[in-house]
Chain A
Amino acid sequence: METSVLNLPEREYLLPGNRTCAGCGLSIAYRYILKALEGNAIVAVPASCLTVLHGMYPTTSVLIPCVNVAFPSTAASASGLVAGLKALGRTDITVVGFAGDGGTHDIGIQALSGAAERGADFIYICYDNEAYMNTGTQRSSSTPLGAKTATTPVLGKQQHLKDMPRIMEAHSVSYIATACPSYPADLYDKMRKAKTKKGTRYIHISTPCPPGWIFPTKDTVKMGRLAVETGMVTLYEMEDGVFRLTGRSRSVAERGKLKPVGDYIKLQGRFAGISADNLKELQTWVNSRWAGYLKRA
């Protein structure tokens, strides 16, 4: 049976009244990740908006155990949790390392690379809001070209973003998927699939962020949809090395074409005043990446 809004599990593991901003894309994504894990998981979380979501001692807004870990150590901590659970014979519990883009692309990359090379048995999730949001929107290596942040305030960032799933692909891990909370059933299915695999699995979720990207809180879902429809984000999965477009990206590939990148960036304050050169370069970059996906699909 196809996963849909009517048969997604009702039970929530994320409690209302938590600390995320109104309209947070991470919050939507986390609801469906936790539903897919059915509460039977331990997450290792470094400093990030997810720490903020989990809340302040002595209360937490999440119904699964979380270990707060040092910023660069998410994947190392997850590896340790896996080893500890194995020693205790608790093999039914899924271990998840869960970090932001700063905590993945920049600060956590060596621990993640090490764990993936060893094939440590956990799911690593990077939720990508494209900057260091929890500390006030500093640029990361996942910030797209032309986006203004607190540390790229005038011209916007002058480099392209780092393609993290491709770096994980070079580690030959058993499962890689990209997702977006505007497509919860697609995200849920990928999490369910990741759960059945062994070794290191990598899920990359693009999570729109109203205060960091500067758009109205009501537009989070629309922004995720536009990200996919313009090719700024592509939904795909790789099972044991086999690449497949999924969901909306597949339907765009099969019948249709990408919308212009301008449709997406004109709705976000972080791209206000982007230079014509940067905009052109961003479109060229999207086109060539999309052509690459089409060739592989």
Chain B
Amino acid sequence: MGTRDCKHISAMASPSIGEAGRTGEWRTSRPVIDHSRCIPVRKNKPSCFLCWLYCPEAVIKRDIPIQIDLTYCKGCGICAEECPSGAITMVAENDYVER
């Protein structure tokens, strides 16, 4: 039980990343990005960012280059599907080799 400013005891939850654990472990395939095909990288200015826009998990950073937080990415594949330049490929976790 937490206590709020009003000093009353209350069952108040506190915000936390990873409320459901490391949801990256749910993944069956992972997004692998080829930055050289990514539009903001190619233009070297903020543009496109559709992967950031549509990510249900808010695990993509709207930076150049974009960054994906694989600790929590559930591997839905929306980013790869929506990327207009085919910069993101979903690779089965079992086939993935670190390079």
Asked if A pairs with B, the answer is yes
Interface residues of A (CB under 8 A from B): 5-6, 8, 10, 12, 14-25, 27-28, 31, 54-63, 181-182, 184, 210, 216-222
Q: Give B55 Cβ to nearest chain A Cβ, in Å.
A: 8
Is the beta-carbon distance between A221 and B18 smaller than 8 angstroms? no
Whether B47 is near chain A, meaning CB under 8 Å from some CB there, is yes
- Is A221 a contact of B54 with CB atoms below 8 Å? yes
Interface residues on B, range: 35 or more
Nearest Cβ distance between residue A54 and chain B, in whole angstroms?
Answer: 8
Complexed CA–CA distance, A229 and B55 (Å): 22
Shortest Cβ distance from B29 into A: residue: A218
Contact of B72 among A16, A31, A62, A218 (CB under 8 A): A16
Bound form: Cα–Cα A5–B74 in Å: 22
- Majority SS of interface residues in chain A? loop
Q: With both chains docked as a complex, state the minimum distance between the C-beta of B61 and any C-beta of chain A, in angstroms.
A: 9
Name B17's contact: one of A5, A10, A17, A222 (CB within 8 Å): A17
B21: chain A residues at CB < 8 Å are 17
B16 touches A221 (CB 8 A): no
The reply to whether B20 and A19 contact each other, CB–CB distance below 8 Å, is yes
Residue of A nearest to B45 (CB): A6
Our pick among A21, A59, A216, A220 for the contact of B13 (Cβ within 8 Å) is A59
| B14 & A60 in contact (Cβ 8 Å cutoff) | yes
Is B22 engaged at the interface, CB distance under 8 Å to the other chain?
yes
Which chain A positions have C-beta within 8 A of B46? 6
Q: Is the CB of B13 within 8 A of A16?
A: no
Distance, CA A56 to CA B21, complexed state (A): 11
Shortest distance between the CB of B18 and any CB in chain A (Å): 3
Structural contact, A23 and B47, CB atoms closer than 8 A: no
Of all A-B residue pairs in the complex, the 5 with the closest CB atoms, nearest first, are: A218-B77, A17-B18, A23-B76, A27-B56, A16-B72
Q: Specify which chain B residues have a CB less than 8 angstroms from the CB of A58 in the assembled complex.
A: 2, 13-14
Contacts of B50 in A (CB 8 A): 5
| A15: B residues at CB distance < 8 A | 15-19, 58
Known: A22-B76, A31-B56, A63-B15. 19 other contacts (CB 8 A): A6-B46, A14-B58, A15-B18, A15-B19, A16-B59, A17-B22, A17-B57, A17-B71, A21-B74, A27-B56, A56-B13, A58-B13, A58-B14, A60-B13, A60-B19, A182-B54, A217-B78, A218-B80, A221-B54
